[in-house]
Chains A and B, each alone.
Chain A
Amino acid sequence: MASAPATGAGLSDADFTRFTEYFYKRTGIHFTPAKRYFVDKRIETCVRESPYDTFTGWFAALRVNENSGMLQDLINQLTVNETYFLREDYQFDAMLSTVLPNVLRDRGGVNRIVGPVKILSLPCSTGEEPYSIALRLLEEWDQIDHVDVEIHGADIDSEVLAKAAHASYGERSVQRVPKAWMNKYFTSVGGGRYQVDEGIRSAVTLHRVNVCDTFSMRAFRDFDVVFCRNVLIYFDELSSRRAAENLYGAMRPGGYLFLGHSESMSRISPIFTPTRLAEGIVYQRPTGAK
């Protein structure tokens, strides 16, 4: 058994290496030595809150029993989960600068496109993501007045969906929203909270659905752009594969899929084609037969 570190604090070098190799293999995420302290502290918390006394016991259980929720707790500890308006908005930049123009071009151009451009935010959680998309389209997409756009938000959790429908948010959630947009699209409802105006709320259709449920996901078809950020990483091997397949089925051929910035399909499924944009990697459902 690898010896405990001299200071008694954090993982031994051997355990840190063992853990980061496992995590890299499982998720594709590298923890560099610079993140050592961060990882040590988070794992300490996981081990302390588990039935196991040592890292070794906890780690062995984690490896054998990924479905138990241990992996979810671990990933929750290691990743930032907060949702807020305009989170990771470099992807919205990519949507405006490259993805939507490509979609329009692929569908015949602004004058000949038939049917709306469809955008899906899943999980939409309490709504910040789909409403952020709506705001950026209205404010920054030069084609918004010429093209129909449907925005859909989907989540498995009915409580967060109710909040998304109500669409009122605290300061922390809206702190990245430009003041001019706050004035234009939000109303102060007291208690430091702001509600998204009815015009925007009615532009986002909310659905309760489980991304791993193939039948339910059949309700979603022909989406041009899908945001599926920071949820696939929580699933075990089989569930994440099925979720990827279900997202594929929800998309138009050539449609675009954004994952969270530290996520990759390389640990999930090869069915999408990666594409490099200036802002990072995006995935596409392939066009045509292979």
Chain B
Amino acid sequence: MTDTEAPPRVLVVDDAATVRLYHSSLLLEAGFHVDEAANGLEAVEAAMGTAFDLFVVDVNMPKMNGYTCVETLRSETVGTASPVLMISTEDRPGDADRAYAAGANLYLVKPVAGERLIRIATMLTAGRGTPA
């Protein structure tokens, strides 16, 4: 179903506008198509209307936090199998396990260096779309 000429579509989900800007800028520069959502509920609604190839999701967000967002993305409400990368300020023990239990593929602690983000995003979306 992927259009081989289209870059992978990423949804960046974070309540902080600066974080969205940082992650979006890096991904755009690397040739990804990027959309943004400011909380987990907005992300779920966006994912209902658009097939994303990758989700980059924060944890601490109002209305719907990241874990609930990822659970909902994986549930029949959305039902996406696309990779989910969680990036959070939280680094308590058990946070990564919680992320994986929710259905995330990877959990990273902020800040994530640009190169690392792109390497990981590229790896997770390999075979989905084609970066421009």
Contacts and interface: CB of A to CB of B under 8 A. Distances in A.
Q: Is A in direct contact with B (CB under 8 Å) within the complex?
A: yes
Interface of A: 21, 24-25, 28, 264-270, 273-276, 281
A33 to B, nearest CB: 16
Interface string B57-69: 0000001100010
A276 B42 contact: no
B49 interface: yes
A267 B45 contact: no
B38 A24 contact: yes
B38 A273 contact: no
Q: Interface majority SS on A: helix, strand, loop or mixed?
A: mixed
Given A276-B48, A281-B48, A266 B41 contact: yes
Given A266-B63, A269-B63, A274 B38 contact: no
Contacts of A268: 63
B89 interface: no
A270 to B, nearest CB: 5
B89 to A, nearest CB: 19
Contact of B38 (A28, A270, A275): A28
B12 to A, nearest CB: 14
Given A266-B64, A270-B41, A276-B49, 19 more contacts: A21-B17, A25-B17, A25-B38, A28-B38, A28-B42, A264-B41, A266-B38, A266-B39, A266-B41, A266-B45, A266-B63, A268-B63, A270-B64, A270-B68, A273-B77, A274-B44, A275-B77, A281-B45, A281-B48
The interface centre, meaning the residue of A265, A267, A270 with most chain B CB atoms within 10 A of its CB, is: A270
A270 B63 contact: yes
Interface of B: 17, 37-42, 44-45, 48-49, 63-64, 68, 77
B42 A266 contact: yes
Shortest beta-carbon contacts, A-B, top 8: A266-B42, A276-B48, A266-B41, A270-B64, A270-B63, A274-B45, A270-B41, A21-B17
A274 B48 contact: yes
A269 B39 CA distance: 11
Contacts of B49: 276, 281
A269 B40 CA distance: 11
A281 B39 CA distance: 17
A263 to B, nearest CB: 11
Contacts of A25: 17, 38
Nearest to A267: B63
A216 B38 CA distance: 33
B18 to A, nearest CB: 10
Contacts of B39: 266
Contacts of B68: 270
A71 to B, nearest CB: 18
A29 B77 CA distance: 23
11 contacts: A28-B38, A264-B42, A266-B41, A270-B68, A274-B41, A274-B44, A274-B45, A274-B77, A275-B48, A276-B48, A281-B45
Contacts of A281: 45, 48-49
A25 to B, nearest CB: 6
Nearest to A25: B38
A208 B108 CA distance: 52
A272 B77 CA distance: 12
Nearest to A283: B45
A226 B49 CA distance: 22
A191 to B, nearest CB: 45
A72 to B, nearest CB: 22
A156 to B, nearest CB: 26
Contacts of A270: 40-41, 63-64, 68
B10 to A, nearest CB: 18
A265 B41 contact: yes
Contacts of A21: 17
Nearest to B63: A270
Contacts of A28: 38, 42
